[in-house]
Amino acid sequence: MKVLVIGSGGREHALVWKLSQSRRVDKIYCCPGNAGIAELAECVDIDPLDFDAILNLVKYEWIDLTIVGPEDPLAAGLATVFRKDGRKIFGPGIDAARLEASKSFSKDFMRRYGLPTADYKVFTSYMHAEDYVRLKGAPIVIKADGLAAGKGVIVAKTVHEATDALRLIMKERAFGAAGDKVVVEDCIDGEEASFMAFTDGKIIVPMVSSQDHKRIFDNDLGPNTGGMGAYSPAPVLGPEMEQTVMETIMKPFLRGIQAEGMDFRGVIYVGLMIRDGKKPYVLEFNCRFGDPETQAVLRRLDSDFFEIILATSEGKLAQANIEWKRESSVCVVMASGGYPGKYQKGMAIKGLDNAGKLKDVVVFHAGTVFDGENFVTAGGRVLGVTATGKDVKEAKARAYEAAQMITFEGMQFRKDIADRAIKGDASK
């Protein structure tokens, strides 16, 4: 069968890599892809938001199934367009994608169906939001309502930081139209974790646990990024906590999307804050695979990925066989200098071949192109060096051994990915 993957990042490289292992997949296309993906799939230079061109490609090439990686095409309704045309696609419809595309819609949904989440207020007026923050005090969380590439959330430790965040989002328009509205919510202390699950709108099947590292610098310092690394499993999401999440969050979520008639056939990603190692709260919903969590999680999948995706898209997830390896995995993101702010492109990347030859290591490309001689940088997050091992400590050692072999001008990466799990303090 023929499969199309939409997107160009490390997540999409991981999706393509895992699909390529299926005996049922004859050919993979990717729009627009990257230099690493091009080694496994035919990359077609089509904008993920050009729905007509994508649909024409699917028709012309007789593509059987499309998988959407990033959030923007889902929020704009790509899955809805495809299903109206009778095409199989993995991803929620435009109605369900609002759970990620609008934080205020998402928070209201949580409130309607009793999901545990922080108290919040929604504002369209900077003046009213500023008055509320000064009254409420800090710490407090300021969120741009719309999509902001994972960077529209600011945890303000002081009122001054909070008002600066409001000004950045609502007046300076740092995230464009995403800042037309803001969500101001209480700050919950605890340990963050990522809970991803497959759902066809009928049942929900959780994936293995993982934990992302959002901040740019070690020890969770500096501004938020799209994600600087991830590992799996996450000790904070042990069997008992997973059961609690399923009972208090995922089952009410499923009842909610069913009650509202949402077309959800894809991945639901729940950003969690776990307080005192006991009580999970929902920070946010994402309606697609996480990045870089996907790179870590798919390294542990022991079943045919294509079969799972196809079953989900057809509403037959209950028939899918989903098995996981017992080993652990760690993904270290290598980013351009200056990221998540301004950064340069076109830096030659050295050492990829040697790193990729190490045992149990796969280097996923994110922001790369091939210039005829070298792979060169073409984005903020450039590579995701991902390794497996018998435990997190071994996986981390392999990932960093590979990372040390790779160089490009301005390269930066965190040195503490997975340290929480290794030190045994993930539940603190």
Q: Are residues 78 and 157 in the same domain?
A: no
Q: 400 lies in a domain?
A: no
User: Per residue in 255-293, pLDDT tens?
Assistant: 999 999 999 999 999 999 999 888 999 999 999 999 999
CB 259: neighbour CB atoms within 10 A?
Answer: 10
CB neighbours of 339 closer than 8 A, spacing ≥ 6? 216, 225, 380, 381, 412
Q: Is residue 425 predicted with pLDDT exceeding 70?
A: no
Q: Is residue 151 predicted with pLDDT exceeding 90?
A: no
Going by pLDDT thresholds of 50, 70 and 90, the confidence category of residue 66 is very high
Q: What is the arithmetic mean of pLDDT over 234-250?
A: 95
The continuous run of DSSP H or E covering 140 comes out as: strand 140-144
User: Per residue in 106-136, pLDDT tens?
Assistant: 999 999 999 999 999 999 999 999 999 999 9
User: Per residue in 30-56, pLDDT tens?
Assistant: 999 999 999 999 999 999 999 999 999
Position 351 scores a pLDDT of 97
Q: Are residues 22 and 84 in the same domain?
A: yes
Q: What's the token pair of residue 6?
A: 């939409």
Q: 192 lies in a domain?
A: no
User: Per residue in 309-337, pLDDT tens?
Assistant: 999 999 999 999 999 999 999 999 999 99
User: Per residue in 365-421, pLDDT tens?
Assistant: 999 999 999 999 999 999 999 999 999 999 999 999 999 999 999 999 999 999 988
Q: Are residues 35 and 79 in the same domain?
A: yes
Q: How many domains does the structure of the chain reveal?
A: 2
Q: Are residues 82 and 144 in the same domain?
A: no
Position 424 scores a pLDDT of 66
Residue 82's domain is classified under what CATH number?
3.40.50.20
Give the neighbor-by-neighbor strand order of the sheet with 89-90.
42-43, 27-32, 2-7, 65-68, 89-90
pTM of the predicted structure, to 2 decimals: 0.94
Please tell me the distance from the alpha carbon of residue 260 to that of residue 257, in angstroms, as a whole number.
5
Q: What's the token pair of residue 21?
A: 């292992």
Position 150 scores a pLDDT of 72
Average pLDDT over all residues of the chain: 95
Q: Which amino acid is at 180?
A: D
For the chain, percent of residues with pLDDT exceeding 70: 99
Residue 172's domain is classified under what CATH number?
3.30.1490.20
Q: Is residue 156 predicted with pLDDT exceeding 60?
A: yes
CB neighbours of 201 closer than 8 A, spacing ≥ 6? 254, 257, 258, 262, 263, 264, 265, 315
Q: Are residues 82 and 149 in the same domain?
A: no
The continuous run of DSSP H or E covering 419 comes out as: helix 419-423
Q: Which domain holds residue 165?
A: 125-180
Report the first-to-last Cα separation within the chain, whole angstroms.
47
Question: Of 92, 109, 139, which marks where a domain is finished?
Answer: 92
Please tell me the distance from the alpha carbon of residue 43 to that of residue 6, in angstroms, as a whole number.
10
Question: Of 164, 180, 196, which marks where a domain is finished?
Answer: 180
Q: What is the arithmetic mean of pLDDT over 204-208?
A: 97
Q: 174 lies in a domain?
A: yes
Question: Of 140, 164, 180, which marks where a domain is finished?
Answer: 180
Q: Is residue 426 predicted with pLDDT exceeding 60?
A: no
Q: 81 lies in a domain?
A: yes
Q: Are residues 8 and 49 in the same domain?
A: yes
Position 254 scores a pLDDT of 98
Q: Are residues 10 and 57 in the same domain?
A: yes
Q: Are residues 16 and 61 in the same domain?
A: yes
Q: Is residue 152 predicted with pLDDT exceeding 90?
A: no
CA torsion, ordered 269, 271, 275, 280, to nearest 10 deg = -30
SS3 240: helix
